[in-house]
């Protein structure tokens, strides 16, 4: 496995699964740009970190990331993965349900010198909300 793919795997397991913000600081450049940040959210490391601390880990517990595929070209790593967790807090206006929710994600990370410097991503939030809303 390439060094850049290992960096992305480490981020997924240490930051997304375990909310290790020391690892976040180790893996994300201060010059980082999140090209997928929603309107009104900082495109820098602070906005990226806020998603994990204020959204994902507030809404879900027991988070696991299953990486299905990784492809690399020109220091960019594309990853297709599933983020799963128990819906234990508010998520985009939906109160906790206790259900196990699966979010399909595809992202591309530009890695330079072992750090994230750019990110583009697409997460199936509507699919997650449909799982939450289903009786």
Q: How many CB atoms lie within 10 A of CB 75?
A: 15
Strands 76-87 and 100-112: antiparallel
What is the structure's pLDDT at 90?
97
- Averages of pLDDT over runs of 10 residues in the chain (135 residues) are 96 98 98 96 97 96 98 98 98 96 98 98 97 92
What the chain holds in terms of domains, given with CATH numbers, is 3-133 (3.10.450.50)
β-bridge mates for residue 123, sequence order: 105
What is the structure's pLDDT at 135?
84
H helices of 18-134, where?
21-27, 45-50, 57-59, 125-133
pLDDT tens sequence across 14-38: 999 999 999 999 999 999 999 999 9
pTM equals: 0.95
């Amino acid at each position: 496995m390439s060094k850049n793919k290992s960096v992305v795997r480490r981020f997924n397991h240490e930051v997304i699964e375990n909310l290790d913000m020391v690892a976040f600081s180790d893996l994300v450049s201060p010059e980082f740009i999140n090209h997928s940040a929603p309107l009104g959210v900082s495109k820098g490391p602070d906005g990226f970190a806020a998603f994990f601390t204020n959204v994902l880990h507030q809404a879900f517990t027991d988070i696991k990331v299953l990486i299905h595929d990784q492809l690399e070209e020109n220091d960019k790593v594309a990853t297709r993965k599933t983020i799963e967790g128990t819906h234990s807090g508010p998520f985009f206006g939906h109160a906790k349900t206790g259900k196990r929710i699966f979010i399909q994600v595809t992202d591309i990370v530009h890695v330079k010198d072992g750090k994230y410097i750019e990110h583009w991503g697409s997460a199936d939030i509507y699919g997650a909300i449909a799982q939450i809303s289903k009786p």
